[in-house]
Amino acid sequence: MSAHDHSHGHDAHGHGGLQMGHHHISSSAMFLNVLIALLILTGITVGASRVDFGPANMLIAMAIASVKASLVIAFFMHVKWDTAINKIVFLSSFLFLSLLFIFTLSDHATRRLDGELTVRHTNVQYQWTQPKADPNHGKH
Amino acid sequence: MSHDGHHSVVIPAPGPEFVPHTVAHHFDTPVQEFQSAKLGFWLFLATEILLFGGLFAAYFYYHEVYPETFRLGGQQLDWKLGAINTTVLLLSSWTMAMGVRSAQTSQKQKTLMFCGLTVVGALAFMVIKFFEYKAKHEHGFVVFSELFAPYDQATGSLAWFKDYDGVMAGVPHGHLFFAIYLTMTAIHGLHVIIGAGLILWIMVGAAKGRFHNGYFLPVDLVGLYWHLVDLIWIFLFPLLYLVP
């Protein structure tokens, strides 16, 4: 198998290193396209941060970053052409990461905060501490 | 095949400027060697995601609790330097990808050139980071000489956070943003330095002709590590420099 002609490894779907198994070798043009896309998305990130979308700014910034990350993972890190087990191992880390985020932030969202933190949650605290506002209270 | 465990498989060199690769004796085939190492490295990278993930969780939590602190803190950073460093890392990620490709296609000089450019990118990133840290130090946002001084319980003050100009005085816990900024960028910076060292090690091997279309495993793995460094920064840049 060492006699295999590797010259076609220069095209997008060539195979090199047959001795280590079949490997996808990406074309230089594809890498350049990914780089250009990443640079453009960086520009969009900066541009979007200059506009006030309110709370959506965070979502927009993270959405663009996720697209950039997907490009790096799929193409630069070759995950698109990697084995199923490697894909599962690496991508599952993001699944567990999302669990960490969901439980951490849902704790914050559902917690009755005390002390100085209540400054931002005055209305919430008012509802909690003023049950007497109910007009039917004590009428029966 | 060496099922008796006494004869190692040798991958021949594709040319006179390369050296053959001997498969480690505990592997039966080159494919097994490659896939084992690759799976192990992906597991390691998964732990890296979780390491930084904990810090990102801390960021999101405190950003939710003290949004004004984070917005004002982010404005104290130079977003232009952050954007330049983002570009530097993206370019270096591209040169690394090209370096791996060059090794896969037995292009020795190109492998050396692209890996060298990646190291230049790593150095440029750290030089810019140094000047950023220096400015933060001068403003008293992160006083490095006091970084490990004990917390003063009597005054409730942190020795490493002086905020000489009092710009963070109007928001609660101004130190929080800078604590998270320093922790995340310093651990990321450590990865940049380690990554640069690993790429230099790859260059030594490449100069000796160890990497070619028959064997490029170390180049591939170091490449993955370098892309992870870029991956983390893709999220750090908007979160720290352009605080949403």
Per-residue pLDDT tens digits for A66-112: 999 999 999 999 999 999 999 999 999 999 999 999 999 988 888 76
* Mean pLDDT by groups of 10 residues along chain B of 244 residues: 64 95 93 96 98 97 93 97 98 98 97 98 98 97 93 85 94 94 98 98 98 97 98 98 94
* Structural contact between residues B202 and B135, judged by C-beta atoms closer than 8 angstroms: no
Domain identity same for A63 and A97: no
Domain identity same for A75 and A119: no
Q: Of A8-12, A40-44, A99-103, B203-207, where does mean pLDDT reach its minimum? A: A8-12
Q: Which residue has the tokens 């954007």?
A: B83
Position A138 in a domain: no
User: In the structure, what pLDDT confidence band is assigned to residue A140 with cuts at 50, 70 and 90?
Assistant: low
CB spacing of A76 vs B86 below 8 angstroms: no
Position A140 in a domain: no
Q: Which residue has the tokens 């053959």?
A: B20
List B157's β-bridge partners, or say none: B152
Contact list, B230 vs chain A (CB under 8 Å): 72, 76
Q: Is the pLDDT score of A121 beyond 60? A: no
Domain identity same for A13 and A55: yes
Position A13 in a domain: yes
Given A41, A60, A82, the domain boundary residue is A82
Position A137 in a domain: no
Q: Would you say the ipTM is above 0.90?
A: yes
Q: What pLDDT score does B219 carry?
A: 98
CA distance, residue A98 to nearest chain B CA (Å): 9
Domain identity same for A39 and A68: yes
* Structural contact between residues B182 and B227, judged by C-beta atoms closer than 8 angstroms: no
Domain identity same for A69 and A99: no
Q: What pLDDT score does A112 carry?
A: 62
- Contacting residues for A42 by C-beta, under 8 A, at least 6 apart: A68, B83, B86, B87, B90, B237
- Token pair for residue A116? 């100085």
User: In the structure, what pLDDT confidence band is assigned to residue A113 with cuts at 50, 70 and 90?
Assistant: low
Domain identity same for A54 and A116: no
- Token pair for residue B189? 């910076």
Residues spanned by the domain of A114: 84-132
Instruction: Give chain A's domain count.
Output: 2
Count H helices and E strands in chain A, helices first: 4, 2
CA distance, residue A58 to nearest chain B CA (Å): 5
Provide φ and ψ at B22, rounded to 5°. Answer: -95, 120
Of A20, A42, A49, which has the smallest distance from its Cβ to B87's Cβ? A42
Provide φ and ψ at B48, rounded to 5°. Answer: -65, -40
Q: What pLDDT score does A123 carry?
A: 46
Contact list, B57 vs chain A (CB under 8 Å): 100-101, 104
Distance between CA A56 and CA A106 in Å, rounded?
18
In B, minimum Cα distance to A60 occurs at B244
User: Where do the domains of chain B lie, and which CATH numbers do they carry?
Assistant: 30-241 (1.20.120.80)
Domain identity same for A1 and A68: yes
Distance between CA B90 and CA B227 in Å, rounded?
9
